[in-house]
Amino acid sequence: MTEDSILELLFYILPAVVVGVIAFYFFNLHTRNEERRRRYLLHKEAQKQALPLRLQAYERMALFLERIAPGNLLVRIKPAGNDKEAYLTLLIKAIEQEFEHNLAQQIYISDECWNVIKASKNATINNLRKVAGREEVTTANELRQQVVNSLIDQQPPSETGLAYIKNEVKNLW
């Protein structure tokens, strides 16, 4: 083979190789785009089905925070006697039972939101214990009164949790 025939052969092969490389590139690009589109559609469908469950979980946790707010808790749970320790234990037990009843909701809400809710619950319990630990509080009714008085000075921890939930639900839209 002469040099001219090799050069002529290259002129025939070179366009075919260029077209083949370009075709491979576009086929690969098209395949990746189709895979992304399918993933997006599956994700969109899953989100459509999961959104009602997530919203229900946020509703349940908002209800939980409303129920453990000291003002609502004291109205719902009356002291059985005059013993402040027994009443404090009853209040804390009610909060813990509410929390345990809603434990499964953590699956549907963000970890950060769940941590805020747990912190609100723990802060509410700690506030109740702090008020009960005061020397001037000796009876269950005095405990109730002092907890109500403390609500005048500061907002309950459940308000912080509720604000966080509202913000997170707003971001879902």
pLDDT band at 98 (very low <50, low <70, confident <90, very high): very high
Looking at the predicted structure, is the pLDDT value of residue 66 above 70?
A: yes
pLDDT value of position 27: 94
Amino acid making up residue 8: E
Q: Mean pLDDT, to the nearest integer, of 62-90?
A: 91
Tell me the average pLDDT across 60-86.
91
Q: Are 82 and 141 in contact (CB under 8 A)?
A: yes
Residues in CB range of 10: below 8 A, 6 or more apart: none
Res 28: pLDDT: 95
Encode pLDDT of 123-166 as tens digits.
999 999 998 888 888 888 888 888 888 888 888 999 999 999 99
Average confidence score pLDDT of the chain = 90
Higher pLDDT pick, 81 / 22? 22
**What are the residues facing 82 on neighbouring strands?**
none
pLDDT recorded at residue 148: 86
From 53, 36, 30, 173, select the one nearest 105 (Cα to Cα): 53
Q: Mean pLDDT across the stretch 29-48?
A: 88
CA 48 from chain centre, in angstroms, equals: 17
Residue 48 has pLDDT above 80, yes or no: no
Structure confidence at residue 50 as a pLDDT band (50, 70, 90): confident
